[in-house]
């Protein structure tokens, strides 16, 4: 069993365009027009070249679904080791915070190569089973209704992320792991803004603040894991600690701590954004919202269509381990790859009228938003369950819910995670 690489290593080294690869000198996923609406630009990028080198980013960008699938399903050639690394260099002050001798999580899932990834992932399967999701369902329904009660009792309009979309997924993943409810406020504070650290462009002060929260949260995870040795419950952390004790040579204690550390991020901000994106898709299209109010059995497919049409994750990364050829272009080893989900999820030869949001679309689930292959998102069913239960609760309890007209909708600068920073809603 190998020790594993650092959880948040330095950014991939800047590389030059592979010879023969088209070069785009202007485009970056952080350009204002792309952040405002990536889809028409992503469409044009794919029309211009299925794959190109983005000079601003220093990555080879892959636009077509078939090429993204090739990348995802060949992990020996396209390694996932960089996926948690910051895209841009981290300043000295934040690096100093993370240099604390006890900040030592190791790569365990998304950023761990084979064969260790498969060794560790097998221990997480039971945790994400249908049985565990079933036990979580009553909790999600109860909290969704409590948050709606609080929202309806307060003033209108209401900022929906603070009132609902941020707390619910955080609390859900904390219950899944087994953290006590009494620690929720502390945990929600530590786990906010994490997406900015690796995939955004935070200021130096913001980097330091996030790094301090990551360190505090890691220390909490370690203390919490230690308590699980003597206090087992029906939760994911207890299962992992029991697995370690049953075979300490196959899953190390540090790996158990690191899986727990990683899950709170994986399961939080992307779900917050997906809930908001669902409202952005549905509330202005009143006829489709009303269909869900009248017939909640339409909600599961509506969720699939939200995941295709307006995912909270519009890209993911890999790095080549050897020279290879993709879409007819030769790419050398150590080239960072940016997979453009925003392009592939609206590819016209795969999705009819791809720019139309349609809750009845029969192949909506053929999107790429949760990845593919050995690293396919472990939490995809949990994320979709949460959005389904949220839409069931909102359509039944607040059928008149609507967006406040004229509000600016903007996503923070982020190369991967997409969702509004603020969402004002009102109701009758």
Binding site for ligand HEM (CB under 6 A): 72, 80, 109-110, 121, 173, 263, 266-267, 270-271, 274, 311-313, 316, 369-373, 375-379, 382-383
* Cβ closest to ligand HEM, residue 82 vs residue 97: 82
What is the bridge-based pairing of β-strands 336-340 and 59-62? parallel
| 424 contacts 404 by C-beta, under 8 angstroms | yes
* Cβ closest to ligand HEM, residue 85 vs residue 207: 85
Q: To the nearest whole angstrom, how small is the minimum distance from the Cβ of residue 375 to ligand HEM?
A: 3
* Cβ closest to ligand HEM, residue 25 vs residue 130: 130
Query: CA 325 to CA 77: how far, in whole Å?
Result: 10
Secondary structure class of 334 (helix, strand, coil): coil
What is the bridge-based pairing of β-strands 78-79 and 315-320? antiparallel
Q: To the nearest whole angstrom, how small is the minimum distance from the Cβ of residue 22 to ligand HEM?
A: 25
* Cβ closest to ligand HEM, residue 163 vs residue 377: 377
CA atoms within 13 A on the CB side of 158: 21
* Cβ closest to ligand HEM, residue 57 vs residue 377: 377
Q: To the nearest whole angstrom, how small is the minimum distance from the Cβ of residue 270 to ligand HEM?
A: 4
Query: Which residues, including other chains, have CB under 8 Å from residue 84's CB and lie 6 or more apart?
Result: 7, 8, 9, 107, 110, 111, 198, 262
Q: To the nearest whole angstrom, how small is the minimum distance from the Cβ of residue 354 to ligand HEM?
A: 19
Q: Where are the beta strands (DSSP E) in 156-251?
A: 158-159
171: left (phi over 0), alpha (psi -120 to 50) or beta: alpha
Query: CA 236 to CA 224: how far, in whole Å?
Result: 12
Q: To the nearest whole angstrom, how small is the minimum distance from the Cβ of residue 1 to ligand HEM?
A: 17
Q: To the nearest whole angstrom, how small is the minimum distance from the Cβ of residue 134 to ligand HEM?
A: 15
* Cβ closest to ligand HEM, residue 25 vs residue 125: 125
Which one, of 24, 50, 5, 60, lies nearest residue 323 by Cα? 60
* Cβ closest to ligand HEM, residue 140 vs residue 173: 173
* Cβ closest to ligand HEM, residue 16 vs residue 122: 122
Q: Cis link prior to 115 (omega < 30° from 0)?
A: yes
| 59 contacts 340 by C-beta, under 8 angstroms | no
Q: To the nearest whole angstrom, how small is the minimum distance from the Cβ of residue 259 to ligand HEM?
A: 8
Q: To the nearest whole angstrom, how small is the minimum distance from the Cβ of residue 180 to ligand HEM?
A: 18
| 305 contacts 361 by C-beta, under 8 angstroms | yes
Q: To the nearest whole angstrom, how small is the minimum distance from the Cβ of residue 366 to ligand HEM?
A: 15
| 427 contacts 156 by C-beta, under 8 angstroms | yes
Secondary structure class of 326 (helix, strand, coil): strand
Please give the residue whose beta carbon sits closest to ligand HEM in the complex.
379
Task: Compute φ and ψ for 11, nearest 5 degrees.
Answer: -60, 155
* Cβ closest to ligand HEM, residue 361 vs residue 375: 375
* Cβ closest to ligand HEM, residue 246 vs residue 374: 374
Long-range CB contacts for residues 212-217, cutoff 8 Å, separation at least 24: 212/97, 213/189, 214/8, 214/98, 214/103, 214/190, 215/97, 215/98, 215/100, 215/103, 216/190, 217/187, 217/190, 217/191, 217/261, 217/264
Q: To the nearest whole angstrom, how small is the minimum distance from the Cβ of residue 72 to ligand HEM?
A: 5
The token pair that represents 239 in the structure block: 């299962």
């Amino acid at each position: 069993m190998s020790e594993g690489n650092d959880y948040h290593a330095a950014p991939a080294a800047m590389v030059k365009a592979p010879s023969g690869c088209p070069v785009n000198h202007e485009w970056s996923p952080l350009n204002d027009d792309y952040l405002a609406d990536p889809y028409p630009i992503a469409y044009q990028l794919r029309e211009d070249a299925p794959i190109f080198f983005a000079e601003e980013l220093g990555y080879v960008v892959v636009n077509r679904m078939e090429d993204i699938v090739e990348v995802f399903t060949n992990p020996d050639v396209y390694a996932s080791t960089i996926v948690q690394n910051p895209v841009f260099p981290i300043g000295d002050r934040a690096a100093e915070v993370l240099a604390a001798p006890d900040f030592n999580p190791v790569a365990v899932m998304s950023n761990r190569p084979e064969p260790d990834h498969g060794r560790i992932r097998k221990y997480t399967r039971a945790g994400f089973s249908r049985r565990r999701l079933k036990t979580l369902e009553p909790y999600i329904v109860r909290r969704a209704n409590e948050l709606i009660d609080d929202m309806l009792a307060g003033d209108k309009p209401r900022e929906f992320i603070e009132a609902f979309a941020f707390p619910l997924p955080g609390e859900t993943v904390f219950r899944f792991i087994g953290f006590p409810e009494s620690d929720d406020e502390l945990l929600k504070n530590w786990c906010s803004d994490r997406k900015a650290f690796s995939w955004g462009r935070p200021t130096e002060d913001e980097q330091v603040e996030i790094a301090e929260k990551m360190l505090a949260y890691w220390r909490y995870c370690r203390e919490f894991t230690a308590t699980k040795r003597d206090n087992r419950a029906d939760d994911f952390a207890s299962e992992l600690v029991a697995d370690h004790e049953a075979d300490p040579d196959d899953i190390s204690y540090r790996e158990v701590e690191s899986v727990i550390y990683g899950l709170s991020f994986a399961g939080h901000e992307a779900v917050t954004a997906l809930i908001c994106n669902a409202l952005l898709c549905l509330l202005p299209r009143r006829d489709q919202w009303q269909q869900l109010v009248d017939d909640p059995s339409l909600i599961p497919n509506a969720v699939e269509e939200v995941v295709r049409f307006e995912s909270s994750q519009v890209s993911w990364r890999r790095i080549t381990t050897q020279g290879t050829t993709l879409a007819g272009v030769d790419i050398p080893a150590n080239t960072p790859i940016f997979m453009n989900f925003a392009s592939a999820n609206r590819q016209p030869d795969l999705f009819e009228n791809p720019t139309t949001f349609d809750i009845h679309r029969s192949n909506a689930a053929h999107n790429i938003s949760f990845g593919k292959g050995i690293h396919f998102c472990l939490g995809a069913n949990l994320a979709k369950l949460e959005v389904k239960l949220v839409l069931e609760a909102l359509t039944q309890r607040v059928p008149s819910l609507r967006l406040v007209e004229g509000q600016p909708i903007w996503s923070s600068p982020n190369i991967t995670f997409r969702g509004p920073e603020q969402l004002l809603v009102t109701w009758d």
